[in-house]
Every structure is written in structure tokens, then in C-alpha cells.
Amino acid sequence: MSYLVNRALVATSLCAATLLGSTAVQAQSPQEESSPTKYLRVSRDKDNKPETLETAVVSFAPKSGAKNVTVDLVGAIHIGDEAYFDTLNRLFQDYDVVLYEMVKPKDVTPQRGSKDRQQTPLALVQRMLPSMLDLSFQVDSVDYTPENFVHADLTPTELGEAMRKRGETRMSLFIKVVKEVMQQYQEEWATGGSLSGNVSDAEILSFLTRKEGAQQLKAMIAGKLEELGPDMGLGATLDSILIVDRNEAALKVLKEQLANRKNGKPLRIAIYYGAAHMSDMASRLTKDFQMQQGDISWVQAWDITRASKRSALEGLLQLLQQPQ
């Protein structure tokens, strides 16, 4: 697969993996106060071929040594195997509170597998990548209805207001994001290199029509997401709007939950947010909440070795044929 196809597919997958939630165990020894370098990792076989993509669950507790409060950062990737979301649904039952991300009106509770979201063009775009990769979409698979789930994100109105406070409009935001992406790869583009090769329509069609293509694409995306590290390559503008503003909203709700704790009662809180949010979130827990990092465990999100039931093209066509 040529570099140009790789770049285009990675750009699509990165947007999906980090933005879908915005509409979107192997134990290790305790760490130092600094946050872990990765909230996503890829396990590989002896030949260095990707086998699984995994997301981190990172535990924090008060530096004072108090044992009755824990805050776990549950890093999310918003498309995954159905078994991944089943594991998360079981995991969330063990928490007193699950703070979750989703830019939505406060009075709307997402319903698992709701068909209404399939009516909009945005919903169609959100489901394109999981359909092509034979994966499930988070909002279709996570149960948001339990009483311990608490919305901890901005509403669409609040997100728009945050943009206005930063002097952003939709057009200025678009221009800044495109500029940052171009600057990020400027040296690569300027040198020509592998970008100079031509990609034929036949090559792309072959990739999309083979069942092995979905597995190859998952392996490529998983490796790129791991390589990008904790900031996920979002750029300064998207980092401010999608990470900083929303993390501030989430930790405001966390502060309220901690303040409402009664009589020193033990409290286990999960913050279920996209992996791109977690480096900043961990820093804030350390500095603003006087917490220290503890154990890290890992949850398998993708089984990259699993054979796809269909080609990427078949998955896309099946999505397009659904009733509108």
C-alpha cells in the first residue's frame, strides 16, 4: 500500500478514533506521578505483526494516602470489537460514578443501538469507518442508561460559546486546522519522497474489495495511533477546543462528585473519555486534585488477527443500503 493511500486512510481513521465520541488485564507496577506515555498500545507477535489494539485504565488516588477515593481514567477508542464494549459495560458496573464524554444536550440520554441517529448525514459518516473495518460504534454498544452514569461534557451550545470566547468561527476553525495539518507534514511534503508515487484506482479498489483488506487497514491504523502518542496529533487548535475545554468541563463535574461524597464514604469514579484526552486529564488530576498515579491495566479493543466477515467495500455498501 503506497504512502499516499496510507496518509489518507490514517487521516480518516484519526478523525474517527478521536472525534466519534464528540457527537464522541495485564497489570503493571505503580508508576511515578507523571502520566504514562501511552493510553493506547499495540501488542505484536514474534514477527512484530500487530495482534491487538488495547486501551489503558489508569488509576489515581489522593497523595495523602487516603484509600477511600479512587479515580480511574478509562481511555476510549470509539470504534471497537463488540467484545470490547461488552467488557467496558461490565467494568462500569463496579464504579459508584461513571463520568462520560459526549457533546449533547443535557436532557438527552443516548439510547444503546438507537436507530434515530442513522437518519442524519453525520451519523452516516460516523458509521463509515466501523462498517468498513467490521467493528462496532461506541454509541451503539455502550449502555449509557445506568444510574451511575453522569454526563461530564459540554453541550453543543457550551461548545459553541467556548469557540466564540476564543474568537473562533466555523470558517476560522477550519482554516486553522487545515493550516496546522499542512505545517505538521510540510517537511515531508516538501521533500516529495514517497508522496510522489501515483496510486491507481485499481490498487485502491483491490484493497477495498479483499476481506483481508479490513485486517490490513486495522493493523495500519493501530500502529499509527500508537505512534502518535498521548496528544494523538490533533494540533493546537483542535487540542484547545476538543481537549482542553472539554477536560475542564469533565473535571468540574468530578469536583462536584467529590464534594458531594457523604461521611467519608468510599467512592470509586471512572472518567470514560477518548484516549487523546487522558494525558492532559492525568496532569490535572496530579496538579489540581493532588492525586498520584497507581496501577495501569489494559483492555483489548481490537483483535487485529480476527478474520473479517466481509470486505471493506461490502461493509460500506451494507451501511448505505440501510433505510433512511
| Closest by CA position to 144, among listed 4, 275, 21, 279 | 21
At residue 48, does pLDDT exceed 70? Answer: yes
- Tell me the DSSP string of 55-83: EEEEEEEETT--SSEEEEEEEE-SEE-HH
The average confidence (pLDDT) of the chain is 74
User: In this structure, is residue 216 part of a structural domain?
Assistant: yes
Taken in order 236, 237, 243, 244, the sign of the CA dihedral is positive
55 or 183, higher pLDDT: 55
- Find the domain containing 68 and state its range: 40-167+194-321
Q: Give pLDDT, residue 160.
A: 77
User: In this structure, is residue 222 part of a structural domain?
Assistant: yes
Residue with cell 500487530: 50
Q: Give pLDDT, residue 322.
A: 66
Residues 154-178: tens digit of each pLDDT: 888 887 787 777 776 666 665 655 5
Q: Give pLDDT, residue 199.
A: 46
Residues 183-223: tens digit of each pLDDT: 555 544 455 444 334 445 665 666 677 777 777 778 877 77
Name the pairing type of β-strands 50-62 and 40-44: antiparallel
Q: Give pLDDT, residue 284.
A: 95
Residue with cell 493546537: 236
Average pLDDT over residues 30-45: 66
> How far is it, in rounded angstroms, from Cα 13 to Cα 224?
9
Q: Which three cell numbers stand for residue 41?
A: 498500545
Name the pairing type of β-strands 136-137 and 79-80: antiparallel
Q: Residue 294 — pLDDT band, cuts 50, 70, 90?
A: very high
> How far is it, in rounded angstroms, from Cα 159 to Cα 166?
11
Q: Give pLDDT, residue 194.
A: 41
User: In this structure, is residue 189 part of a structural domain?
Assistant: no
Least confident of 27-41, 239-253, 290-304: 27-41
User: In this structure, is residue 106 part of a structural domain?
Assistant: yes
HSE on the CB side for 40, CA within 13 Å?
A: 28
How many residues would you count in the chain? Answer: 324
E strand intervals along the chain: 40-44, 50-62, 69-76, 79-80, 97-100, 136-137, 149-151, 267-274, 291-303
pTM of the model: 0.76
User: In this structure, is residue 107 part of a structural domain?
Assistant: yes
CB 42 within 8 A of CB 53: yes
At residue 98, does pLDDT exceed 80? Answer: yes
User: In this structure, is residue 14 part of a structural domain?
Assistant: no
Residues 123-139: tens digit of each pLDDT: 555 667 777 788 888 88
Angle between helices 211-228 and 3-19 (to 10 degrees): 70
User: In this structure, is residue 1 part of a structural domain?
Assistant: no
User: In this structure, is residue 2 part of a structural domain?
Assistant: no
5 or 142, higher pLDDT: 142
Q: What is the domain count for the chain? A: 1
Least confident of 33-37, 158-162, 306-310: 33-37
Q: Give pLDDT, residue 300.
A: 95
86 or 38, higher pLDDT: 86
